[in-house]
Amino acid sequence: LRSCSPGRARRTNASRRACLVSRFGDIYAQERLDAENLLRTYISDMEMVQRIIYIAAVESFHAAKMAYRQFKIRVRETLSLGHSGPESLEDTVLDYIVRHEDLYDVQGSVNEVIRSMNINPKISFPPEIDFIVISTLIRELCRVAFSMQTLVPPLDVAFGTDGELFSETKYHRSFDSDFTAALVAYHVWPALMENDVVIVKGEVVTKR
Protein backbone atom coordinates (compact mmCIF):
# COMPACT_ATOMS: atom_id res chain seq x y z
CA LEU A 1 0.00 0.00 0.00
CA ARG A 2 1.28 3.46 -0.90
CA SER A 3 1.23 5.77 2.11
CA CYS A 4 -0.22 9.17 1.28
CA SER A 5 2.02 11.97 2.50
CA PRO A 6 0.16 14.80 4.22
CA GLY A 7 -0.43 17.78 1.97
CA ARG A 8 0.91 21.26 2.53
CA ALA A 9 -2.40 22.44 4.01
CA ARG A 10 -2.18 19.84 6.77
CA ARG A 11 1.49 20.56 7.44
CA THR A 12 0.72 24.29 7.90
CA ASN A 13 -2.51 23.63 9.82
CA ALA A 14 -1.21 24.62 13.28
CA SER A 15 0.34 27.91 12.16
CA ARG A 16 -2.71 28.85 10.05
CA ARG A 17 -5.00 28.02 12.96
CA ALA A 18 -3.00 30.26 15.32
CA CYS A 19 -3.13 33.16 12.83
CA LEU A 20 -6.88 32.80 12.27
CA VAL A 21 -7.72 32.58 15.98
CA SER A 22 -5.63 35.71 16.51
CA ARG A 23 -7.38 37.46 13.61
CA PHE A 24 -10.79 36.58 15.08
CA GLY A 25 -9.67 38.29 18.31
CA ASP A 26 -8.47 41.34 16.36
CA ILE A 27 -11.85 41.67 14.62
CA TYR A 28 -13.55 41.61 18.02
CA ALA A 29 -11.21 44.30 19.32
CA GLN A 30 -11.13 46.57 16.27
CA GLU A 31 -13.66 46.09 13.44
CA ARG A 32 -16.46 45.25 15.90
CA LEU A 33 -15.91 48.49 17.82
CA ASP A 34 -15.66 50.49 14.57
CA ALA A 35 -19.00 49.01 13.48
CA GLU A 36 -20.49 49.74 16.92
CA ASN A 37 -19.43 53.40 16.74
CA LEU A 38 -20.80 53.68 13.20
CA LEU A 39 -24.16 52.18 14.14
CA ARG A 40 -24.46 54.44 17.19
CA THR A 41 -24.68 57.44 14.84
CA TYR A 42 -27.96 55.97 13.49
CA ILE A 43 -29.34 53.97 16.43
CA SER A 44 -29.47 55.21 20.03
CA ASP A 45 -30.44 51.82 21.51
CA MET A 46 -27.17 50.09 22.46
CA GLU A 47 -28.86 46.70 22.80
CA MET A 48 -30.08 46.89 19.19
CA VAL A 49 -26.60 47.91 18.01
CA GLN A 50 -25.01 44.92 19.77
CA ARG A 51 -27.69 42.53 18.50
CA ILE A 52 -27.06 43.72 14.92
CA ILE A 53 -23.31 43.08 15.25
CA TYR A 54 -23.80 39.65 16.81
CA ILE A 55 -26.22 38.57 14.07
CA ALA A 56 -23.81 39.92 11.43
CA ALA A 57 -21.06 37.70 12.91
CA VAL A 58 -23.21 34.56 13.00
CA GLU A 59 -24.61 35.15 9.50
CA SER A 60 -21.09 35.79 8.13
CA PHE A 61 -19.94 32.37 9.34
CA HIS A 62 -23.06 30.75 7.88
CA ALA A 63 -22.59 32.42 4.46
CA ALA A 64 -18.85 31.64 4.36
CA LYS A 65 -19.41 27.98 5.24
CA MET A 66 -21.99 27.65 2.46
CA ALA A 67 -19.62 29.32 -0.03
CA TYR A 68 -16.77 27.04 1.09
CA ARG A 69 -18.85 23.89 0.56
CA GLN A 70 -19.80 24.98 -2.96
CA PHE A 71 -16.21 26.02 -3.76
CA LYS A 72 -14.89 22.67 -2.51
CA ILE A 73 -17.37 20.70 -4.63
CA ARG A 74 -16.28 22.58 -7.78
CA VAL A 75 -12.57 22.10 -6.99
CA ARG A 76 -13.05 18.37 -6.26
CA GLU A 77 -14.92 17.85 -9.54
CA THR A 78 -12.18 19.60 -11.52
CA LEU A 79 -9.19 17.97 -9.81
CA SER A 80 -10.67 14.45 -9.75
CA LEU A 81 -10.46 14.30 -13.56
CA GLY A 82 -6.66 14.23 -13.58
CA HIS A 83 -5.77 13.19 -10.03
CA SER A 84 -3.13 10.47 -9.65
CA GLY A 85 -1.41 11.13 -6.30
CA PRO A 86 0.84 10.84 -4.36
CA GLU A 87 -1.47 12.80 -2.04
CA SER A 88 -5.08 11.79 -1.51
CA LEU A 89 -7.68 13.65 -3.56
CA GLU A 90 -9.01 15.30 -0.37
CA ASP A 91 -5.55 16.63 0.53
CA THR A 92 -5.01 17.85 -3.03
CA VAL A 93 -8.37 19.67 -2.94
CA LEU A 94 -7.54 21.24 0.43
CA ASP A 95 -4.08 22.34 -0.78
CA TYR A 96 -5.63 23.95 -3.85
CA ILE A 97 -8.20 25.87 -1.78
CA VAL A 98 -5.58 27.11 0.69
CA ARG A 99 -3.36 28.32 -2.17
CA HIS A 100 -6.26 29.96 -4.03
CA GLU A 101 -8.36 31.51 -1.26
CA ASP A 102 -8.32 34.74 -3.29
CA LEU A 103 -10.82 33.04 -5.66
CA TYR A 104 -13.42 33.08 -2.87
CA ASP A 105 -16.24 35.43 -3.88
CA VAL A 106 -16.35 37.32 -0.58
CA GLN A 107 -18.66 40.01 -1.97
CA GLY A 108 -21.22 37.33 -2.77
CA SER A 109 -21.15 36.26 0.88
CA VAL A 110 -21.40 39.88 2.10
CA ASN A 111 -24.52 40.33 -0.06
CA GLU A 112 -25.97 37.08 1.32
CA VAL A 113 -25.37 38.22 4.92
CA ILE A 114 -27.06 41.60 4.32
CA ARG A 115 -30.04 39.83 2.69
CA SER A 116 -30.42 37.57 5.72
CA MET A 117 -30.13 40.49 8.13
CA ASN A 118 -32.80 42.44 6.26
CA ILE A 119 -35.39 39.73 7.01
CA ASN A 120 -34.25 38.92 10.57
CA PRO A 121 -37.15 39.73 12.94
CA LYS A 122 -34.85 40.38 15.93
CA ILE A 123 -33.14 43.44 14.45
CA SER A 124 -34.42 46.60 12.86
CA PHE A 125 -32.79 49.55 11.17
CA PRO A 126 -33.93 53.08 10.32
CA PRO A 127 -35.44 52.82 6.80
CA GLU A 128 -33.19 55.53 5.34
CA ILE A 129 -30.01 53.45 5.77
CA ASP A 130 -28.83 49.93 5.06
CA PHE A 131 -26.81 47.21 6.82
CA ILE A 132 -24.20 47.81 4.10
CA VAL A 133 -22.75 50.48 6.41
CA ILE A 134 -21.09 47.65 8.39
CA SER A 135 -19.93 45.75 5.30
CA THR A 136 -16.25 46.13 6.36
CA LEU A 137 -16.95 44.07 9.49
CA ILE A 138 -19.00 41.53 7.52
CA ARG A 139 -16.32 41.18 4.83
CA GLU A 140 -13.54 40.54 7.38
CA LEU A 141 -15.67 38.00 9.24
CA CYS A 142 -16.54 36.18 5.99
CA ARG A 143 -12.86 36.02 5.03
CA VAL A 144 -11.74 34.62 8.37
CA ALA A 145 -14.69 32.20 8.51
CA PHE A 146 -13.93 30.89 5.01
CA SER A 147 -10.26 30.33 5.92
CA MET A 148 -11.29 28.57 9.14
CA GLN A 149 -13.09 25.95 7.01
CA THR A 150 -9.71 24.92 5.53
CA LEU A 151 -8.45 23.87 8.97
CA VAL A 152 -8.53 20.27 10.19
CA PRO A 153 -10.80 20.28 12.14
CA PRO A 154 -12.59 23.45 10.94
CA LEU A 155 -13.54 26.22 13.38
CA ASP A 156 -17.04 27.62 13.79
CA VAL A 157 -18.99 29.99 16.03
CA ALA A 158 -21.30 28.66 18.73
CA PHE A 159 -25.05 28.74 18.36
CA GLY A 160 -26.61 31.03 20.95
CA THR A 161 -30.21 31.75 21.97
CA ASP A 162 -31.72 34.51 24.06
CA GLY A 163 -32.62 33.18 27.50
CA GLU A 164 -30.04 30.38 27.51
CA LEU A 165 -28.28 29.56 30.78
CA PHE A 166 -25.08 31.61 31.20
CA SER A 167 -21.97 29.43 30.82
CA GLU A 168 -18.63 30.49 32.34
CA THR A 169 -16.76 28.28 29.87
CA LYS A 170 -18.51 29.77 26.84
CA TYR A 171 -18.94 33.48 27.60
CA HIS A 172 -17.67 36.58 29.32
CA ARG A 173 -20.31 38.88 30.80
CA SER A 174 -20.31 42.41 29.43
CA PHE A 175 -19.53 45.17 31.93
CA ASP A 176 -23.17 46.35 32.08
CA SER A 177 -24.52 42.89 32.93
CA ASP A 178 -26.27 41.88 36.13
CA PHE A 179 -23.55 39.58 37.46
CA THR A 180 -26.02 37.66 39.64
CA ALA A 181 -28.35 36.84 36.71
CA ALA A 182 -28.30 33.23 35.50
CA LEU A 183 -29.76 33.79 32.02
CA VAL A 184 -28.41 35.41 28.86
CA ALA A 185 -30.53 38.43 27.86
CA TYR A 186 -28.75 38.80 24.51
CA HIS A 187 -25.41 38.11 22.79
CA VAL A 188 -22.68 40.64 21.98
CA TRP A 189 -20.16 38.32 20.27
CA PRO A 190 -20.16 34.58 19.50
CA ALA A 191 -17.84 32.03 21.05
CA LEU A 192 -15.37 30.29 18.70
CA MET A 193 -15.53 26.50 18.72
CA GLU A 194 -13.42 23.55 17.63
CA ASN A 195 -15.18 20.18 17.72
CA ASP A 196 -17.73 21.54 20.24
CA VAL A 197 -14.95 22.82 22.53
CA VAL A 198 -14.77 26.58 23.22
CA ILE A 199 -11.39 28.01 22.19
CA VAL A 200 -12.33 31.71 22.38
CA LYS A 201 -15.09 32.88 24.71
CA GLY A 202 -17.93 35.00 23.40
CA GLU A 203 -19.56 37.93 25.17
CA VAL A 204 -23.11 38.22 26.48
CA VAL A 205 -25.31 40.52 28.54
CA THR A 206 -27.03 38.86 31.50
CA LYS A 207 -30.09 40.47 33.11
CA ARG A 208 -32.82 39.43 35.51
Question: From CA 189, how far away is CA 28, in angstroms rounded?
Answer: 8
* Residue 186 parent element (H or E): strand 184-189
| 81 touches 159 (CB < 8 A) | no
183: DSSP letter? B
Domain residue ranges of the chain, discontinuous segments joined by +: 8-154, 158-207
**pLDDT number for residue 89:** 66
**Residue 86 pLDDT exceeds 80:** no
Q: Tell me which of 76 and 49 has the higher pLDDT.
A: 49
- Name the pTM for this structure: 0.90
**What pLDDT, in 10s, does the model give residues 156-172?**
999 899 999 999 999 99
Mean pLDDT value across residues 185-203? 97
